[in-house]
Amino acid sequence: MATLVPFRALRPRPDAAAEVAAVPYDVVNAEEARTLADGKPLSFLHVSRAEIDLDPGTSPYDDLVYQTAVSNFERLRLDAPLEQEGSPSLYFYRLRMGDHEQTGVAGTFSVDEYERDVIRKHERTRKDKEDDRTRHIVELRAQTGPVFLTYPAAAAVGAIADRVTAAKPLFDFTAEDSVRHTIWRLPDADVPALVQAFAGIPLLYIADGHHRAASAMRARQAMRNNGGAHDADKFLAVAFPHDQTRILPYHRVVKDLGSRSAAEFLAALRQQTDVRDGSPEPSGPGEVSMYLDGRWYAIHLAPPPPNTSAADRLDVARLHEQVLAPLLGIGDIRSDKRIDFVGGIRGPRELQRLVDDGQAAVAFAMYPVSVADLMSISDAGGIMPPKSTWFEPKLRDGLLTHLI
């Protein structure tokens, strides 16, 4: 069963929500965060990426960064202001991007269930990123950005969502990227019913935010070691039904073709797999669109060997095994400097620009992984290849904070 727990959210006043809300800390680098927060003193980036208020070049792991985050958080609580709810509650959080809409349940979820794999993972985490967010949580005594979960859609949850979201929302604004963010606070009378509805959901899955979840677990232990962990048994998240969750592809670009010319690489590729004239977007699983020397091609990947794991059957894994490694000499994509990634809505047009401008020699547009793939790989205890999924639209930091 999935445990959903109401919490006393720290949140901005409705008239300040749009000014406070910020993109997740890990989708921008320091320079991008500094630009986004320029002239916006209430932006939550001053808390989640506090290095933007220090000298450029300051290490994001410097002690001063965490000290600045604490002082910025205290200032923001006064200036926005941020107010804590008088009683524990739950929320519905709707994201609308173009014609796509998804409505999730915002609340806190069990760290114990994360440890027991009731809340399942599909991605490895990096220690340095865990160290950073763990310290951020401990220093602020707050979880300031939600984990993005998905769950098998449940009619009981949907019925409550339909009723609550027909009323006036708490927050409703459109961000600079044209994504509309709408949040409703549940009436107290509906909270027990939603908690009970979630108790019937057997498993939850981390879609985005593996480092946040792992850091919440580590922060709980660190706070216990220091003699106190009030409310640290839970972590902040928004859970979306699987049939509303949208995964966009994560594309690949390679900076050079090694010693081959474009014609030589194409000839070698034709010997390796089926290559035809194509379009900028793959037509389905097993097909990859390639942009090379001013033209789009369709690569039809060879079927995986029998008994291949679900993770290794993904197109990103098969492209690596059949093309990137043998023909382009790409090793570990986590560390190989010759490969880069383009995610989300930037899509094939950006891939074509990178190649035409000479920043890359070849680009590969992928077909998106499905939510069913994510769940089956997580259920099997598998790990997806790096840069397999891009979730869009994204939640905003600063709208709902869990104080611990």
What is the model's pLDDT at position 229? 64
Q: How far apart are CA 396 and CA 22, in angstroms?
A: 5
pTM above 0.85, yes or no: yes
Structure tokens at 48: 């989640």
Name the nearest CA neighbour of 115 among 235, 290, 197.
235
Structural domains of the chain sorted by starting position, each given as residue range(s) with its CATH number in brackets: 4-247+392-403 (no CATH), 250-367 (3.30.1760)
Structure tokens at 26: 């890990």
* Phi/psi of residue 233, nearest 5 degrees: -75, 0
pLDDT in tens, the chain (404 residues): 899 999 999 999 999 999 999 999 999 999 999 999 999 999 999 999 999 999 998 999 999 999 999 999 999 999 999 999 999 999 999 999 999 999 999 999 999 999 999 999 999 999 999 999 999 999 999 999 999 999 999 999 999 999 999 999 999 999 999 999 999 999 999 999 999 999 999 999 999 999 999 999 999 999 988 776 678 999 999 999 999 999 999 999 999 999 999 999 999 999 999 999 999 999 999 999 999 999 999 999 999 988 999 999 999 999 999 999 999 999 999 889 999 999 878 889 999 999 999 999 999 999 999 999 999 999 999 999 989 999 999 999 999 999 99
Q: Which residues contact 34 (CB under 8 A, 6 or more apart)?
A: 52, 56
CB 69 within 8 Å of CB 140? yes
CA dihedral 124, 129, 133, 134 (to 10 degrees): 70
- The CA-atom distances, in angstroms, between 93 and each of 107, 184, 310, 341 are 10, 7, 32, 29
* Type of residue found at 328: L
Q: How far apart are CA 66 and CA 93, in angstroms?
A: 29
Helix, coil or strand: residue 219: helix
Q: Which residues contact 403 (CB under 8 A, 6 or more apart)?
A: 8, 10, 84, 141, 142, 231
Cis peptide before 393 (omega within 30 of 0): yes
CB 398 within 8 Å of CB 77? no
Q: How far apart are CA 39 and CA 43, in angstroms?
A: 9
Q: How far apart are CA 379 and CA 120, in angstroms?
A: 7
Q: How far apart are CA 195 and CA 360, in angstroms?
A: 50
